[in-house]
């Protein structure tokens, strides 16, 4: 447990690496000829899950200082792929594993074992592989080889399966066409396409990303990437700056493809001062006011923005709350419970989360094994009437292991709670 005290913040930090980018680069390294290197990586639980999956398929992965080195196998092998609690790992490596000749099992632990994966089955079977799940839940079993063909994918719940198909299908023997329905989180698809093109893949796509044509039998080439700073994790640091002081986060680019770069727009909508440079963002506190923001394509911004809204008197509205039901927890319900423990009312009408902000009070909240809930509670505590205790705070290791140390670096009083 952690206890976080009301505090002013001031200082400069380096953003953790984007786990979304690093996991995609590890997948590409598994599929590419030669050596792929990823500099500036952060060794969090989700990245370690991607490494375990890559090794399960025969890739050689080594780590030195802050750089990963991946050498893909000449032929992918079927195997047992532990995916931890990473939804991106399980949903994107399933099509990759389907390239191998034989059965592979993608296993989940913790909250991922309760998250839906049934949308994987139909497109993989349409493309020539066999696939089965445990009633729409993990584990996922796939048998290749993936041949190519035409598939229709429902991307209403997640775009992560589409990412996996886009990564895998250039290596299939035949050409493929993928029709996408209800695409969400499009910026993450754009990130996938950018990385694939840098690795030498040729992919045609409709402007609205509802259709993709992927020629088969392509050769992907290993290359060097430098991981971007992670806007998803940095969002909590920037909100801390908005609530009480000034925070500079280095390693962030306003031109990033990351969906969560839109935290900059949201902070400005709430009245915070935001300054961007070539490799940094500065957020300073000013007089804040209630705000509205559409999080449909960036649902991971709901927790930090809810923490911001909790400390602003009046009602704020975060649209897109329906995207929160199948995260590490039912994130809307968990957020509402956490803020109730701090004396803040939040309501969800099925489409939007409304937060009736004011002055959070001292209390005890449950992280519910959800890293973003733990971080949201810690940031909201900066404007509380007294210390806030967070049970299960160690879950931040999923994406941002150094989060509480970084808060302390900014001047926040953080203690181990008995």
Catalytic residues, by residue number, are: 300
Query: Coil, strand or helix: which one is 8?
Result: coil
User: Cβ neighbours of residue 35 under 8 Å, at least 6 residues apart?
Assistant: 29, 69, 70, 71, 222
Cα 85 to Cα 110: distance, rounded to the nearest angstrom: 6
Cα 333 to Cα 339: distance, rounded to the nearest angstrom: 10
The dihedrals phi and psi of 372, each to the nearest 5 degrees, come to -75, -25
Omega cis (within 30) before 214 = no
Cα 380 to Cα 239: distance, rounded to the nearest angstrom: 9
- Are 114 and 84 in contact by the 8 Å Cβ rule? The answer is no
- C-alpha distances (whole Å) from 367 to each of 48, 176, 251, 339, 393 are 22, 42, 28, 11, 6
Cα 129 to Cα 143: distance, rounded to the nearest angstrom: 6
Measured over all CA atoms, what is the biggest interatomic distance in the chain, rounded to whole angstroms? 62
State the burial class of residue 284 (Cβ atoms within 10 Å of its Cβ: 0-12, 13-18, 19+). middle
């Amino acid at each position: 447990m952690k206890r976080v005290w009301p505090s002013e913040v001031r200082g400069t930090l380096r953003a953790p690496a984007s786990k979304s980018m690093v996991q995609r680069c590890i997948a590409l390294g598994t599929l590419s000829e030669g050596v792929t290197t990823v500099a500036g990586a952060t060794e969090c639980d989700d990245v370690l899950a991607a490494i375990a999956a890559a090794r399960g398929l025969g890739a050689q992965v080594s780590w030195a200082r802050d750089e990963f080195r991946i050498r893909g196998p000449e032929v992918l092998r079927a195997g047992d792929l532990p995916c931890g609690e990473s939804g991106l790992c399980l949903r994107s490596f399933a099509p990759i594993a389907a390239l191998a000749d034989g059965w592979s099992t993608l296993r989940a632990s913790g909250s991922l074992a309760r998250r839906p994966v049934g949308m994987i089955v139909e497109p993989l079977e349409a493309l020539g592989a066999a696939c089965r799940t445990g009633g729409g839940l993990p584990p996922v079993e796939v048998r290749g080889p993936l041949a190519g063909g035409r598939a229709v994918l429902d991307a209403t719940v997640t775009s992560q399966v589409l990412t996996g198909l886009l990564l895998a299908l250039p290596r299939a023997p035949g050409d493929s066409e993928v029709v996408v329905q209800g695409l969400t989180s499009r910026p993450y698809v754009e990130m996938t396409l950018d990385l694939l093109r840098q690795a030498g893949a040729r992919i045609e796509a409709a402007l609205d990303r509802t259709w993709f044509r992927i020629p088969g039998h392509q050769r992907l080439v290993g290359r060097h990437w430098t991981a971007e700073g992670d806007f998803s994790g940095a969002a909590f640091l920037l909100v801390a700056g908005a609530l009480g002081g000034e925070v500079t986060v280095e390693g962030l680019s306003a031109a990033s493809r990351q969906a969560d770069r839109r935290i900059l727009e949201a902070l400005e909508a709430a009245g915070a001062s935001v300054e961007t440079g070539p490799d940094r963002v500065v957020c300073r506190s000013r007089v804040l006011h209630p705000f509205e923001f559409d999080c449909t394509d960036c649902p991971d911004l709901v927790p930090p923005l809810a923490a911001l809204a909790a400390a602003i008197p009046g009602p704020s509205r975060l649209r897109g709350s329906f995207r929160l039901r199948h995260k590490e927890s039912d994130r809307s319900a968990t957020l509402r419970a956490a803020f109730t423990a701090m004396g803040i009312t939040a309501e969800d009408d099925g489409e939007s989360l409304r937060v009736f902000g004011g002055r959070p009070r001292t209390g005890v909240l449950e992280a519910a094994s959800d890293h973003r809930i733990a971080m949201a509670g810690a940031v909201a505590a900066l404007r509380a009437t007294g210390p806030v205790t967070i049970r299960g705070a160690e879950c931040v290791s999923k994406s941002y292991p150094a989060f509480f140390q970084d808060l302390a670096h900014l001047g926040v009083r953080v203690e181990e709670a008995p």
